[in-house]
A and B are shown apart, each in its own frame.
Chain A
Amino acid sequence: MNATTALDMSHKRSTSVAMPAGRLFRAYVMEAKFETIRMLRMLGFAVPFLVLPFALYLFVGLFLGKEGGNARIVDQLFAGISAFGVMGPGMFGFGIAIALERDQGVLALKRALPMPPAAYLFGKMFMAMLFATIVMITLVIAGTLSHAPITAWQYLSMSIVNVLASLPFCAIGMFVGVFTSGKSAPAFVNLLYVPMFSIGELWYEMPKSISWLPPFSPAYHLKKLSLWAASAPSGNDGALIHIAVLAALTLLCSFVAIRRLTRVG
Protein backbone atom coordinates (compact mmCIF):
# COMPACT_ATOMS: atom_id res chain seq x y z
CA MET A 1 0.00 0.00 0.00
CA ASN A 2 1.53 3.29 -0.95
CA ALA A 3 1.47 6.32 1.27
CA THR A 4 -1.08 8.24 -0.74
CA THR A 5 -3.61 5.42 -0.74
CA ALA A 6 -3.25 4.89 2.97
CA LEU A 7 -3.74 8.56 3.64
CA ASP A 8 -6.77 8.86 1.39
CA MET A 9 -8.37 5.94 3.16
CA SER A 10 -7.73 6.79 6.73
CA HIS A 11 -6.25 10.17 7.32
CA LYS A 12 -8.61 12.99 8.01
CA ARG A 13 -7.54 15.98 10.03
CA SER A 14 -8.48 16.22 13.66
CA THR A 15 -11.49 18.48 14.10
CA SER A 16 -12.07 18.23 17.84
CA VAL A 17 -9.61 19.27 20.52
CA ALA A 18 -11.84 18.37 23.45
CA MET A 19 -10.70 15.21 25.18
CA PRO A 20 -13.64 13.02 26.26
CA ALA A 21 -13.38 11.77 29.85
CA GLY A 22 -12.98 8.20 28.63
CA ARG A 23 -10.04 9.12 26.41
CA LEU A 24 -8.46 11.11 29.24
CA PHE A 25 -8.75 8.12 31.58
CA ARG A 26 -7.26 5.92 28.87
CA ALA A 27 -4.25 8.25 28.56
CA TYR A 28 -3.51 7.76 32.27
CA VAL A 29 -4.02 4.00 32.02
CA MET A 30 -1.76 3.69 28.98
CA GLU A 31 0.98 5.75 30.62
CA ALA A 32 0.84 3.51 33.72
CA LYS A 33 0.68 0.36 31.60
CA PHE A 34 3.71 1.15 29.45
CA GLU A 35 5.76 2.47 32.37
CA THR A 36 5.13 -0.81 34.20
CA ILE A 37 5.87 -2.96 31.13
CA ARG A 38 9.05 -0.99 30.55
CA MET A 39 10.32 -1.47 34.09
CA LEU A 40 9.38 -5.16 34.19
CA ARG A 41 11.33 -5.72 30.96
CA MET A 42 14.30 -3.89 32.47
CA LEU A 43 15.71 -6.92 34.28
CA GLY A 44 18.48 -4.92 35.93
CA PHE A 45 15.74 -2.99 37.74
CA ALA A 46 13.02 -5.59 38.23
CA VAL A 47 15.05 -8.56 39.43
CA PRO A 48 17.00 -6.92 42.29
CA PHE A 49 14.03 -4.98 43.64
CA LEU A 50 11.59 -7.89 43.43
CA VAL A 51 13.87 -10.76 44.43
CA LEU A 52 16.20 -9.29 47.06
CA PRO A 53 13.64 -8.52 49.83
CA PHE A 54 12.05 -11.96 49.34
CA ALA A 55 15.38 -13.80 49.44
CA LEU A 56 16.57 -11.77 52.42
CA TYR A 57 13.47 -12.44 54.49
CA LEU A 58 13.33 -16.10 53.54
CA PHE A 59 16.98 -16.59 54.44
CA VAL A 60 16.84 -14.83 57.81
CA GLY A 61 13.28 -15.94 58.51
CA LEU A 62 14.15 -19.63 58.15
CA PHE A 63 16.92 -19.28 60.72
CA LEU A 64 14.64 -17.37 63.04
CA GLY A 65 11.99 -20.07 62.66
CA LYS A 66 14.47 -22.84 63.43
CA GLU A 67 15.74 -21.01 66.48
CA GLY A 68 12.21 -20.23 67.65
CA GLY A 69 12.55 -16.47 67.14
CA ASN A 70 10.09 -14.52 69.22
CA ALA A 71 7.18 -12.61 67.68
CA ARG A 72 8.71 -9.22 68.39
CA ILE A 73 11.90 -9.98 66.46
CA VAL A 74 9.88 -11.45 63.58
CA ASP A 75 7.60 -8.37 63.46
CA GLN A 76 10.60 -6.06 63.51
CA LEU A 77 12.31 -8.03 60.75
CA PHE A 78 9.22 -8.12 58.57
CA ALA A 79 8.58 -4.39 59.02
CA GLY A 80 12.25 -3.57 58.36
CA ILE A 81 12.60 -5.65 55.21
CA SER A 82 9.21 -4.39 53.96
CA ALA A 83 10.37 -0.78 54.29
CA PHE A 84 13.65 -1.68 52.56
CA GLY A 85 11.71 -3.42 49.77
CA VAL A 86 9.33 -0.57 48.93
CA MET A 87 11.94 2.20 49.11
CA GLY A 88 13.89 1.03 46.07
CA PRO A 89 11.26 1.00 43.31
CA GLY A 90 10.06 4.47 44.31
CA MET A 91 13.45 6.10 44.68
CA PHE A 92 15.22 4.44 41.76
CA GLY A 93 12.16 4.08 39.50
CA PHE A 94 11.38 7.75 39.79
CA GLY A 95 14.81 9.25 40.33
CA ILE A 96 16.87 7.55 37.67
CA ALA A 97 14.04 7.29 35.14
CA ILE A 98 13.20 11.00 35.31
CA ALA A 99 16.85 12.04 35.14
CA LEU A 100 17.44 9.77 32.13
CA GLU A 101 14.27 10.86 30.36
CA ARG A 102 15.21 14.50 30.84
CA ASP A 103 18.65 13.81 29.36
CA GLN A 104 17.34 11.75 26.47
CA GLY A 105 14.70 14.23 25.37
CA VAL A 106 11.73 11.98 26.20
CA LEU A 107 10.34 14.43 28.73
CA ALA A 108 10.65 17.32 26.25
CA LEU A 109 8.85 15.25 23.61
CA LYS A 110 6.04 14.39 26.01
CA ARG A 111 5.72 18.03 27.06
CA ALA A 112 5.51 19.04 23.39
CA LEU A 113 2.90 16.34 22.76
CA PRO A 114 -0.55 16.71 24.31
CA MET A 115 0.13 14.25 27.14
CA PRO A 116 -2.17 15.08 30.07
CA PRO A 117 0.23 16.91 32.42
CA ALA A 118 -0.19 14.62 35.42
CA ALA A 119 -0.17 11.36 33.42
CA TYR A 120 3.62 11.20 33.35
CA LEU A 121 3.93 11.22 37.14
CA PHE A 122 0.86 9.06 37.59
CA GLY A 123 2.41 6.37 35.36
CA LYS A 124 5.58 6.27 37.41
CA MET A 125 3.68 6.39 40.70
CA PHE A 126 1.48 3.48 39.63
CA MET A 127 4.54 1.48 38.62
CA ALA A 128 6.25 2.09 41.98
CA MET A 129 3.11 1.14 43.93
CA LEU A 130 2.64 -1.98 41.80
CA PHE A 131 6.25 -3.00 42.46
CA ALA A 132 5.67 -2.31 46.18
CA THR A 133 2.57 -4.52 46.06
CA ILE A 134 4.53 -7.34 44.41
CA VAL A 135 7.31 -6.94 47.01
CA MET A 136 4.75 -7.21 49.82
CA ILE A 137 3.12 -10.31 48.26
CA THR A 138 6.51 -12.01 47.97
CA LEU A 139 7.32 -11.09 51.56
CA VAL A 140 4.04 -12.53 52.81
CA ILE A 141 4.86 -15.74 50.90
CA ALA A 142 8.35 -15.76 52.44
CA GLY A 143 6.84 -15.18 55.89
CA THR A 144 4.39 -18.02 55.41
CA LEU A 145 7.11 -20.38 54.13
CA SER A 146 9.29 -19.59 57.14
CA HIS A 147 6.35 -20.05 59.55
CA ALA A 148 6.65 -16.52 60.89
CA PRO A 149 4.30 -15.87 63.84
CA ILE A 150 2.47 -13.10 61.98
CA THR A 151 -1.31 -13.13 61.58
CA ALA A 152 -3.15 -12.57 58.31
CA TRP A 153 -4.45 -9.25 59.64
CA GLN A 154 -0.93 -8.11 60.48
CA TYR A 155 0.32 -9.10 57.01
CA LEU A 156 -2.53 -7.15 55.43
CA SER A 157 -2.21 -4.01 57.54
CA MET A 158 1.58 -3.85 57.13
CA SER A 159 1.23 -4.41 53.37
CA ILE A 160 -1.28 -1.58 52.99
CA VAL A 161 0.92 0.80 54.96
CA ASN A 162 4.00 -0.11 52.95
CA VAL A 163 2.33 0.18 49.54
CA LEU A 164 0.95 3.62 50.45
CA ALA A 165 4.21 4.65 52.01
CA SER A 166 6.08 4.02 48.77
CA LEU A 167 4.79 7.48 47.76
CA PRO A 168 7.19 9.51 49.94
CA PHE A 169 10.06 7.59 48.39
CA CYS A 170 8.68 8.31 44.90
CA ALA A 171 8.69 11.99 45.85
CA ILE A 172 12.30 11.79 47.07
CA GLY A 173 13.29 10.01 43.85
CA MET A 174 11.47 12.64 41.78
CA PHE A 175 13.25 15.41 43.68
CA VAL A 176 16.64 13.86 42.89
CA GLY A 177 15.65 13.10 39.29
CA VAL A 178 14.75 16.68 38.39
CA PHE A 179 18.02 18.11 39.68
CA THR A 180 20.51 15.52 38.41
CA SER A 181 21.67 14.16 35.06
CA GLY A 182 21.04 10.59 33.93
CA LYS A 183 24.67 9.72 34.63
CA SER A 184 24.83 11.18 38.11
CA ALA A 185 21.32 10.21 39.29
CA PRO A 186 22.22 6.62 40.37
CA ALA A 187 25.02 7.98 42.56
CA PHE A 188 22.81 10.65 44.12
CA VAL A 189 19.92 8.23 44.72
CA ASN A 190 22.32 5.77 46.35
CA LEU A 191 23.71 8.61 48.43
CA LEU A 192 20.28 8.93 50.01
CA TYR A 193 19.10 5.32 49.78
CA VAL A 194 21.99 3.64 51.58
CA PRO A 195 22.14 6.03 54.58
CA MET A 196 18.34 5.96 54.81
CA PHE A 197 18.13 2.23 55.43
CA SER A 198 21.42 2.15 57.33
CA ILE A 199 20.43 4.67 59.99
CA GLY A 200 16.70 3.90 59.85
CA GLU A 201 16.96 0.99 62.33
CA LEU A 202 15.51 -1.38 59.75
CA TRP A 203 17.62 -4.35 60.93
CA TYR A 204 19.16 -3.29 64.23
CA GLU A 205 18.83 -0.60 66.85
CA MET A 206 21.33 2.22 66.95
CA PRO A 207 23.60 2.60 70.00
CA LYS A 208 22.09 4.87 72.64
CA SER A 209 24.73 7.56 72.02
CA ILE A 210 23.34 8.17 68.52
CA SER A 211 19.70 7.29 69.16
CA TRP A 212 18.79 10.78 67.94
CA LEU A 213 19.88 9.83 64.40
CA PRO A 214 17.22 7.35 63.14
CA PRO A 215 14.30 9.85 63.07
CA PHE A 216 16.19 11.68 60.31
CA SER A 217 15.58 8.69 58.03
CA PRO A 218 12.15 8.39 56.36
CA ALA A 219 12.66 4.62 56.43
CA TYR A 220 12.60 4.74 60.24
CA HIS A 221 9.18 6.40 60.19
CA LEU A 222 7.85 3.88 57.67
CA LYS A 223 9.00 0.96 59.83
CA LYS A 224 7.44 2.47 62.95
CA LEU A 225 4.19 3.11 61.08
CA SER A 226 4.21 -0.44 59.78
CA LEU A 227 4.66 -1.84 63.30
CA TRP A 228 1.93 0.44 64.62
CA ALA A 229 -0.45 -0.84 61.91
CA ALA A 230 0.31 -4.41 62.95
CA SER A 231 -0.33 -3.54 66.62
CA ALA A 232 3.24 -4.55 67.36
CA PRO A 233 5.52 -2.63 69.76
CA SER A 234 6.52 0.54 67.89
CA GLY A 235 7.72 2.93 70.56
CA ASN A 236 5.87 5.65 72.40
CA ASP A 237 5.45 8.20 69.62
CA GLY A 238 2.13 7.01 68.17
CA ALA A 239 1.36 6.96 64.46
CA LEU A 240 0.61 10.62 63.95
CA ILE A 241 4.17 11.90 64.09
CA HIS A 242 5.34 9.28 61.56
CA ILE A 243 2.44 10.03 59.20
CA ALA A 244 3.15 13.76 59.53
CA VAL A 245 6.85 13.36 58.73
CA LEU A 246 6.22 11.18 55.67
CA ALA A 247 3.37 13.41 54.43
CA ALA A 248 5.41 16.59 54.85
CA LEU A 249 8.35 15.04 53.04
CA THR A 250 6.08 13.95 50.18
CA LEU A 251 4.51 17.37 49.81
CA LEU A 252 7.78 19.27 50.03
CA CYS A 253 9.70 17.09 47.55
CA SER A 254 6.73 16.92 45.15
CA PHE A 255 6.15 20.66 45.25
CA VAL A 256 9.77 21.54 44.46
CA ALA A 257 10.15 18.81 41.84
CA ILE A 258 6.87 19.50 40.00
CA ARG A 259 7.57 23.21 39.99
CA ARG A 260 10.93 22.58 38.36
CA LEU A 261 9.51 20.00 35.93
CA THR A 262 6.83 22.39 34.68
CA ARG A 263 9.18 25.37 34.41
CA VAL A 264 12.40 23.80 33.19
CA GLY A 265 11.54 20.25 32.19
Chain B
Amino acid sequence: MDQCLAELSAVTKRFGKIVALDGLDLDVRSGELLAVLGPNGAGKTTAISLLLGLQQPDSGTASLFGQSPLRVESRRQVGVMMQDVTLAPELHVRELIEQVSSYYPDPLSTNAVLDMTHTGQIARRPYSKLSSGQKRQAQFAMALCGRPKLLFLDEPTVGLDIQAREMLWATLRALIREGASIVLTTHYLEEAEALADRVAVLAKGRVIASGTVDEMRALVVRKRVTCRASVASEVVATWPGVEIATRDQQGLHITASNAEDVVRRLLAADPDLRDLEVRRAGLAEAFTELTQENAQ
Protein backbone atom coordinates (compact mmCIF):
# COMPACT_ATOMS: atom_id res chain seq x y z
CA MET B 1 0.00 0.00 0.00
CA ASP B 2 3.00 2.30 0.23
CA GLN B 3 3.93 2.85 -3.39
CA CYS B 4 3.40 6.52 -4.21
CA LEU B 5 1.28 6.95 -7.36
CA ALA B 6 0.83 10.70 -7.37
CA GLU B 7 2.57 13.40 -5.42
CA LEU B 8 2.64 17.13 -4.87
CA SER B 9 5.85 18.19 -3.19
CA ALA B 10 6.24 21.67 -1.64
CA VAL B 11 3.88 23.04 -4.26
CA THR B 12 2.96 26.69 -4.38
CA LYS B 13 0.37 28.07 -6.74
CA ARG B 14 -0.81 31.66 -6.91
CA PHE B 15 -3.65 33.27 -8.86
CA GLY B 16 -2.76 36.94 -8.84
CA LYS B 17 -2.54 37.95 -5.19
CA ILE B 18 -4.39 34.85 -3.97
CA VAL B 19 -2.21 31.99 -2.74
CA ALA B 20 -4.19 28.87 -3.66
CA LEU B 21 -1.53 26.37 -2.54
CA ASP B 22 1.11 27.28 -0.01
CA GLY B 23 3.93 24.73 0.05
CA LEU B 24 1.51 21.81 -0.19
CA ASP B 25 2.72 18.24 0.26
CA LEU B 26 0.25 15.55 -0.73
CA ASP B 27 0.74 11.97 -1.84
CA VAL B 28 -1.56 9.22 -3.06
CA ARG B 29 -0.50 5.68 -2.23
CA SER B 30 -1.21 2.47 -4.03
CA GLY B 31 -4.43 0.70 -3.04
CA GLU B 32 -5.87 3.49 -0.86
CA LEU B 33 -8.89 5.72 -1.04
CA LEU B 34 -7.71 9.18 -0.09
CA ALA B 35 -10.44 11.68 0.77
CA VAL B 36 -9.36 15.28 0.29
CA LEU B 37 -11.51 17.52 2.44
CA GLY B 38 -11.54 21.22 3.06
CA PRO B 39 -13.78 24.27 3.08
CA ASN B 40 -14.47 26.15 -0.16
CA GLY B 41 -11.30 27.84 -1.38
CA ALA B 42 -9.03 25.49 0.58
CA GLY B 43 -7.17 24.48 -2.58
CA LYS B 44 -8.67 21.03 -3.25
CA THR B 45 -9.53 21.63 -6.90
CA THR B 46 -6.22 23.37 -7.58
CA ALA B 47 -4.33 20.44 -6.03
CA ILE B 48 -6.18 17.93 -8.21
CA SER B 49 -5.69 20.14 -11.31
CA LEU B 50 -1.93 20.10 -10.70
CA LEU B 51 -1.89 16.32 -10.31
CA LEU B 52 -3.74 16.00 -13.63
CA GLY B 53 -1.49 18.43 -15.46
CA LEU B 54 -4.24 21.00 -16.02
CA GLN B 55 -2.15 23.65 -14.28
CA GLN B 56 1.52 24.09 -13.51
CA PRO B 57 2.93 24.80 -10.05
CA ASP B 58 4.71 28.12 -9.50
CA SER B 59 7.22 26.23 -7.37
CA GLY B 60 7.57 22.66 -6.16
CA THR B 61 6.83 19.55 -8.20
CA ALA B 62 3.81 17.51 -9.28
CA SER B 63 4.23 13.93 -10.39
CA LEU B 64 1.90 11.22 -11.61
CA PHE B 65 3.22 7.65 -11.75
CA GLY B 66 6.72 9.04 -11.37
CA GLN B 67 6.42 11.30 -14.42
CA SER B 68 5.19 14.76 -15.21
CA PRO B 69 1.36 14.81 -15.33
CA LEU B 70 1.75 16.57 -18.67
CA ARG B 71 2.94 13.30 -20.21
CA VAL B 72 0.02 11.48 -21.79
CA GLU B 73 1.63 8.15 -20.79
CA SER B 74 1.12 8.96 -17.10
CA ARG B 75 -2.50 9.93 -17.66
CA ARG B 76 -3.24 6.63 -19.44
CA GLN B 77 -3.36 5.07 -15.97
CA VAL B 78 -5.86 7.59 -14.69
CA GLY B 79 -9.65 7.93 -14.77
CA VAL B 80 -11.26 11.29 -14.07
CA MET B 81 -14.69 12.46 -12.97
CA MET B 82 -14.94 16.22 -12.66
CA GLN B 83 -17.69 18.16 -11.00
CA ASP B 84 -18.41 21.05 -13.34
CA VAL B 85 -18.57 19.41 -16.75
CA THR B 86 -21.37 19.66 -19.28
CA LEU B 87 -20.76 16.93 -21.82
CA ALA B 88 -21.97 17.01 -25.42
CA PRO B 89 -25.77 17.02 -25.05
CA GLU B 90 -26.27 15.41 -28.47
CA LEU B 91 -24.22 12.28 -27.77
CA HIS B 92 -25.67 9.18 -26.14
CA VAL B 93 -24.18 7.69 -22.98
CA ARG B 94 -22.83 4.68 -24.88
CA GLU B 95 -21.16 6.98 -27.42
CA LEU B 96 -19.55 9.10 -24.69
CA ILE B 97 -18.11 5.95 -23.10
CA GLU B 98 -16.85 4.70 -26.49
CA GLN B 99 -15.20 8.05 -27.14
CA VAL B 100 -13.33 8.10 -23.82
CA SER B 101 -12.45 4.37 -24.12
CA SER B 102 -10.64 5.15 -27.37
CA TYR B 103 -8.05 7.18 -25.41
CA TYR B 104 -6.80 4.11 -23.53
CA PRO B 105 -4.60 1.23 -24.73
CA ASP B 106 -6.67 -1.55 -23.16
CA PRO B 107 -10.11 -0.33 -22.13
CA LEU B 108 -13.04 -2.38 -20.84
CA SER B 109 -15.76 -3.22 -23.32
CA THR B 110 -18.57 -0.67 -23.31
CA ASN B 111 -21.06 -3.33 -22.16
CA ALA B 112 -18.84 -4.24 -19.20
CA VAL B 113 -18.67 -0.58 -18.18
CA LEU B 114 -22.45 -0.22 -18.49
CA ASP B 115 -22.89 -3.33 -16.29
CA MET B 116 -20.40 -2.19 -13.68
CA THR B 117 -21.95 1.23 -13.31
CA HIS B 118 -25.59 0.16 -13.75
CA THR B 119 -26.02 2.55 -16.66
CA GLY B 120 -27.36 0.03 -19.20
CA GLN B 121 -30.84 1.57 -18.95
CA ILE B 122 -29.61 4.99 -20.04
CA ALA B 123 -27.01 3.81 -22.58
CA ARG B 124 -28.98 4.93 -25.63
CA ARG B 125 -30.28 8.16 -24.15
CA PRO B 126 -28.83 11.54 -25.20
CA TYR B 127 -26.84 13.16 -22.41
CA SER B 128 -29.18 16.17 -22.49
CA LYS B 129 -32.16 13.96 -21.55
CA LEU B 130 -30.56 12.61 -18.36
CA SER B 131 -31.36 13.72 -14.82
CA SER B 132 -28.50 15.26 -12.85
CA GLY B 133 -27.98 11.98 -10.99
CA GLN B 134 -27.89 10.01 -14.25
CA LYS B 135 -25.36 12.47 -15.65
CA ARG B 136 -23.09 11.75 -12.66
CA GLN B 137 -23.52 8.01 -13.29
CA ALA B 138 -22.58 8.46 -16.95
CA GLN B 139 -19.50 10.45 -15.95
CA PHE B 140 -18.56 7.75 -13.46
CA ALA B 141 -18.81 5.17 -16.25
CA MET B 142 -16.52 7.30 -18.41
CA ALA B 143 -14.01 7.52 -15.56
CA LEU B 144 -13.87 3.73 -15.20
CA CYS B 145 -13.76 2.67 -18.83
CA GLY B 146 -9.95 2.74 -19.24
CA ARG B 147 -9.22 0.32 -16.35
CA PRO B 148 -7.45 3.11 -14.43
CA LYS B 149 -4.98 2.40 -11.65
CA LEU B 150 -5.85 5.76 -10.12
CA LEU B 151 -9.27 7.39 -10.13
CA PHE B 152 -9.86 11.08 -9.42
CA LEU B 153 -13.46 11.62 -8.34
CA ASP B 154 -14.70 15.14 -7.63
CA GLU B 155 -17.99 15.12 -5.72
CA PRO B 156 -19.12 11.89 -7.39
CA THR B 157 -22.43 11.47 -5.54
CA VAL B 158 -23.88 14.96 -5.89
CA GLY B 159 -27.41 14.55 -7.24
CA LEU B 160 -27.54 10.77 -6.80
CA ASP B 161 -30.47 9.14 -5.00
CA ILE B 162 -29.71 6.86 -2.04
CA GLN B 163 -29.82 3.66 -4.09
CA ALA B 164 -27.51 5.00 -6.80
CA ARG B 165 -25.14 6.35 -4.15
CA GLU B 166 -24.99 2.96 -2.40
CA MET B 167 -24.24 1.27 -5.74
CA LEU B 168 -21.48 3.76 -6.50
CA TRP B 169 -19.99 3.23 -3.04
CA ALA B 170 -20.10 -0.56 -3.58
CA THR B 171 -18.28 -0.16 -6.89
CA LEU B 172 -15.63 2.03 -5.26
CA ARG B 173 -15.08 -0.53 -2.49
CA ALA B 174 -14.77 -3.28 -5.09
CA LEU B 175 -12.25 -1.22 -7.07
CA ILE B 176 -10.14 -0.71 -3.95
CA ARG B 177 -10.29 -4.45 -3.18
CA GLU B 178 -8.97 -5.08 -6.68
CA GLY B 179 -6.00 -2.78 -6.07
CA ALA B 180 -7.11 0.50 -7.63
CA SER B 181 -6.44 3.76 -5.83
CA ILE B 182 -8.92 6.60 -5.55
CA VAL B 183 -8.68 10.28 -4.75
CA LEU B 184 -12.06 11.53 -3.61
CA THR B 185 -12.96 15.14 -3.01
CA THR B 186 -16.32 15.53 -1.33
CA HIS B 187 -18.38 17.81 0.84
CA TYR B 188 -20.31 14.83 2.21
CA LEU B 189 -18.27 13.96 5.28
CA GLU B 190 -20.26 10.76 5.85
CA GLU B 191 -19.04 9.67 2.41
CA ALA B 192 -15.43 10.15 3.42
CA GLU B 193 -16.15 8.47 6.76
CA ALA B 194 -17.69 5.46 4.99
CA LEU B 195 -15.09 5.00 2.27
CA ALA B 196 -11.74 6.60 3.06
CA ASP B 197 -8.61 4.78 4.16
CA ARG B 198 -6.97 8.12 4.69
CA VAL B 199 -8.17 11.70 4.95
CA ALA B 200 -6.25 14.86 4.12
CA VAL B 201 -7.80 18.09 5.39
CA LEU B 202 -6.77 21.18 3.45
CA ALA B 203 -7.13 24.78 4.57
CA LYS B 204 -5.56 27.89 3.09
CA GLY B 205 -3.60 25.82 0.59
CA ARG B 206 -1.91 23.54 3.13
CA VAL B 207 -2.59 20.10 4.58
CA ILE B 208 -3.57 20.84 8.19
CA ALA B 209 -4.26 17.22 9.15
CA SER B 210 -3.81 13.84 7.54
CA GLY B 211 -4.46 10.31 8.73
CA THR B 212 -7.11 7.64 8.99
CA VAL B 213 -10.68 8.59 9.86
CA ASP B 214 -10.11 7.34 13.43
CA GLU B 215 -6.94 9.38 13.73
CA MET B 216 -8.87 12.44 12.58
CA ARG B 217 -11.58 11.84 15.15
CA ALA B 218 -8.95 11.40 17.85
CA LEU B 219 -7.62 14.86 17.09
CA VAL B 220 -10.85 16.25 18.46
CA VAL B 221 -11.26 16.19 22.20
CA ARG B 222 -14.97 17.03 22.14
CA LYS B 223 -17.54 14.33 22.81
CA ARG B 224 -21.29 14.26 22.48
CA VAL B 225 -23.48 13.38 25.46
CA THR B 226 -27.21 12.68 25.09
CA CYS B 227 -29.64 11.65 27.82
CA ARG B 228 -33.11 12.17 29.26
CA ALA B 229 -32.70 14.29 32.38
CA SER B 230 -34.67 16.94 34.24
CA VAL B 231 -31.79 19.43 34.31
CA ALA B 232 -32.45 22.54 32.23
CA SER B 233 -30.23 22.88 29.15
CA GLU B 234 -29.60 26.54 30.08
CA VAL B 235 -28.09 25.38 33.37
CA VAL B 236 -25.95 22.71 31.72
CA ALA B 237 -24.67 25.28 29.24
CA THR B 238 -23.05 27.19 32.12
CA TRP B 239 -21.04 24.19 33.37
CA PRO B 240 -17.27 24.22 32.74
CA GLY B 241 -16.21 22.50 29.53
CA VAL B 242 -19.72 22.51 28.02
CA GLU B 243 -19.74 24.11 24.60
CA ILE B 244 -23.32 23.49 23.52
CA ALA B 245 -26.39 22.25 25.41
CA THR B 246 -29.78 21.93 23.76
CA ARG B 247 -33.00 20.06 24.43
CA ASP B 248 -35.49 18.54 22.00
CA GLN B 249 -38.05 15.73 22.07
CA GLN B 250 -35.26 13.13 22.13
CA GLY B 251 -33.78 14.68 25.27
CA LEU B 252 -30.76 16.71 26.27
CA HIS B 253 -27.83 17.07 23.82
CA ILE B 254 -24.47 18.26 25.11
CA THR B 255 -21.17 18.84 23.33
CA ALA B 256 -18.35 19.03 25.83
CA SER B 257 -14.58 18.81 25.98
CA ASN B 258 -14.73 17.01 29.39
CA ALA B 259 -17.57 14.54 28.93
CA GLU B 260 -16.73 12.48 32.03
CA ASP B 261 -17.05 15.50 34.36
CA VAL B 262 -20.30 16.49 32.69
CA VAL B 263 -21.74 12.97 33.14
CA ARG B 264 -20.83 13.02 36.86
CA ARG B 265 -22.58 16.38 37.33
CA LEU B 266 -25.61 15.19 35.38
CA LEU B 267 -25.96 12.09 37.58
CA ALA B 268 -25.57 14.22 40.70
CA ALA B 269 -28.19 16.70 39.49
CA ASP B 270 -30.69 14.05 38.38
CA PRO B 271 -30.36 10.55 39.87
CA ASP B 272 -33.27 9.43 37.60
CA LEU B 273 -31.31 10.25 34.43
CA ARG B 274 -32.04 7.75 31.56
CA ASP B 275 -30.82 6.79 28.08
CA LEU B 276 -27.32 8.10 28.69
CA GLU B 277 -25.06 7.93 25.64
CA VAL B 278 -21.53 9.29 25.22
CA ARG B 279 -20.05 9.33 21.72
CA ARG B 280 -16.73 10.41 20.28
CA ALA B 281 -16.82 13.18 17.74
CA GLY B 282 -17.46 12.14 14.17
CA LEU B 283 -15.46 13.21 11.15
CA ALA B 284 -17.82 16.15 10.74
CA GLU B 285 -16.93 17.55 14.17
CA ALA B 286 -13.25 16.85 13.57
CA PHE B 287 -13.41 18.64 10.24
CA THR B 288 -15.24 21.62 11.71
CA GLU B 289 -12.84 21.93 14.62
CA LEU B 290 -9.74 21.57 12.49
CA THR B 291 -10.81 24.10 9.90
CA GLN B 292 -12.10 26.57 12.53
CA GLU B 293 -8.82 26.36 14.41
CA ASN B 294 -6.98 27.05 11.19
CA ALA B 295 -9.20 30.00 10.36
CA GLN B 296 -8.40 31.68 13.70
Binding site for B on A (CB under 8 A): 1-4, 6-20, 23, 26-27, 29-31, 34, 37-38, 41-42, 104-106, 108-109, 111-117, 265
Contacts and interface: CB of A to CB of B under 8 A. Distances in A.
Contact of B52 (A13, A23, A112, A116): A112
B86 A112 contact: no
Contact of B106 (A16, A29, A37, A111): A16
Given A104-B85, A109-B87, 17 more contacts: A1-B115, A3-B167, A4-B170, A7-B116, A7-B174, A10-B112, A11-B175, A13-B147, A14-B104, A20-B105, A26-B102, A29-B102, A30-B99, A37-B90, A105-B86, A106-B87, A112-B75
15 contacts: A3-B174, A6-B115, A8-B178, A10-B108, A17-B105, A18-B105, A19-B76, A23-B102, A104-B86, A106-B85, A108-B54, A112-B52, A112-B152, A114-B73, A114-B75
Interface in B1-17: none
Interface in B85-122: 85-88, 90-91, 95, 98-100, 102-106, 108-109, 112, 115-116, 118
A11 B178 contact: yes
A29 B80 CA distance: 22
A55 B84 CA distance: 41
B180 interface: yes
A205 B289 CA distance: 75
A3 B82 contact: no
Interface in B129-170: 144, 146-149, 152, 167, 170
Contacts of A8: 174, 178
Contacts of B90: 37-38, 41-42
B266 to A, nearest CB: 46
A23 B105 contact: yes
B54 A14 contact: no
Interface in B230-280: none
Q: Is the interface of B mostly helix, strand, loop or mixed?
A: loop
B263 to A, nearest CB: 43
Lowest 9 A-B CB distances belong to which pairs? A104-B86, A105-B85, A30-B102, A41-B90, A112-B52, A3-B171, A10-B112, A114-B75, A114-B76
A116 B85 contact: no
B72 interface: yes
Nearest to B144: A11
Contacts of A37: 90-91, 95
A113 B69 CA distance: 11
Which of A9, A29, A37, A265 has the most CB atoms of chain B within a 10 A radius of its CB? A37
B77 A17 contact: yes
B85 A14 contact: no
Nearest to B104: A114
A4 B146 CA distance: 18
A9 B54 CA distance: 34
Contacts of A13: 147-149, 178-180
A22 to B, nearest CB: 10
B53 interface: yes
B195 interface: no
Nearest to A27: B102
B125 to A, nearest CB: 13
Given A20-B105, A26-B102, A34-B99, A11 B116 contact: yes
- The interface centre, meaning the residue of A26, A30, A31 with most chain B CB atoms within 10 A of its CB, is A30
Contacts of B116: 3, 6-7, 10-11
Contacts of A7: 116, 171, 174-175, 178
A214 B2 CA distance: 67
B80 A116 contact: no
B207 interface: no
B84 to A, nearest CB: 5
Contacts of A105: 82, 84-86
Given A26-B102, A34-B99, A37-B91, A3 B170 contact: yes
Contacts of B147: 11-14
B21 interface: no
B78 interface: yes
A31 B102 contact: yes
Given A3-B167, A104-B86, A114 B174 contact: no
Interface string B60-87: 0000010000001111111010101111
B135 to A, nearest CB: 12
Contacts of A29: 102
B178 A109 contact: no
A34 B179 CA distance: 33
Contacts of A38: 88, 90-91
Nearest to B152: A112
Contacts of B175: 7, 11
Contact of B170 (A2, A26, A30, A108): A2
A27 B54 contact: no
A113 B100 CA distance: 8
B175 to A, nearest CB: 7
Given A14-B146, A106-B88, A115 B76 contact: no
